[in-house]
Amino acid sequence: MSELTMKPKEWMEQVEKLRNQIGEVIVGQEEVVEQMLWCIFAGGHALLEGIPGLGKTMLVSTVSKALDLSFSRIQFTPDLMPSDITGTNILSFGQQGSTGMSFQKGPLFSSIVLADEINRATPKTQSALLEAMQEKTVTVGSQTHQLPRPFFVLATQNPLENEGTYPLPEAQLDRFLLKIEVSYPSADELKEIVKRTTSSREIGVEKQMTAEELLEIQQGAKEILVADEVLDYAVRLLMMTHPEEETAPDGVRRYVRFGSGPRGVQAIISIGKVRALFSGRMHLSTGDIRAAALPALRHRIFLNFEGQAMGVTTDQVIREVMDQLERTV
Is it the case that residue 55 has pLDDT exceeding 90? no
Element (H, E) at 233: helix 228-239
Distance CA 290, CA 57 (A): 28
Residue-wise over 117-138: b if at least 16 C-beta within 10 A, else e?
bbbbbeeebbebbebbbeeeeb
Distance CA 153, CA 135 (A): 12
pLDDT for residue 228: 92
Residue 178 burial (10 A CB sphere; 0-12, 13-18, 19+): buried
Beta bridge partners of 74: 115
Is it the case that residue 97 has pLDDT exceeding 70? no
Distance CA 302, CA 258 (A): 5
Domains delineated in the chain: 4-214 (3.40.50.300), 224-328 (1.10.8.80)
pLDDT for residue 4: 47
Angle at which helix 211-222 crosses helix 30-41, to 10 degrees, equals 80
pTM: 0.85
User: pLDDT grade, residue 241 (50/70/90)?
Assistant: very high
- pLDDT higher at 232 or 213: 232
Query: 156-187 pLDDT, tens per residue?
Result: 887 765 556 777 777 778 889 999 888 787 78
What's the number of CA atoms in the CB half-sphere (13 Å) around residue 104? 10
Q: CA 287, 290, 294 angle in degrees (round to 5)?
A: 150
**Among 55-59, 73-77, 165-169, whose mean pLDDT is lowest?**
165-169
DSSP string, 162-226: STT--PPPHHHHHH-SEEEE-----HHHHHHHHHHHSSS----------HHHHHHHHHHHHT-B-
User: pLDDT grade, residue 20 (50/70/90)?
Assistant: confident
Q: Which range has the top average pLDDT, 66-70, 188-192, 320-324?
A: 320-324
In one letter, which amino acid is 2?
S
pLDDT for residue 193: 78
**Among 126-135, 227-236, 308-317, whose mean pLDDT is lowest?**
126-135
Closest by Cα among 27, 39, 117, 63 to 295: 39
pLDDT for residue 329: 66
Query: 120-159 pLDDT, tens per residue?
Result: 887 777 777 888 888 888 877 777 888 888 888 888 887 7
Is it the case that residue 275 has pLDDT exceeding 80? yes
CB-based contacts of 25, cutoff 8 Å, min separation 6? 58, 62, 203, 205
pLDDT for residue 60: 82
Average pLDDT in the chain = 83
Contact at 8 Å (CB) between 154 and 219?
Answer: no
Element (H, E) at 100: strand 99-105
Closest by Cα among 91, 157, 169, 160 to 128: 169
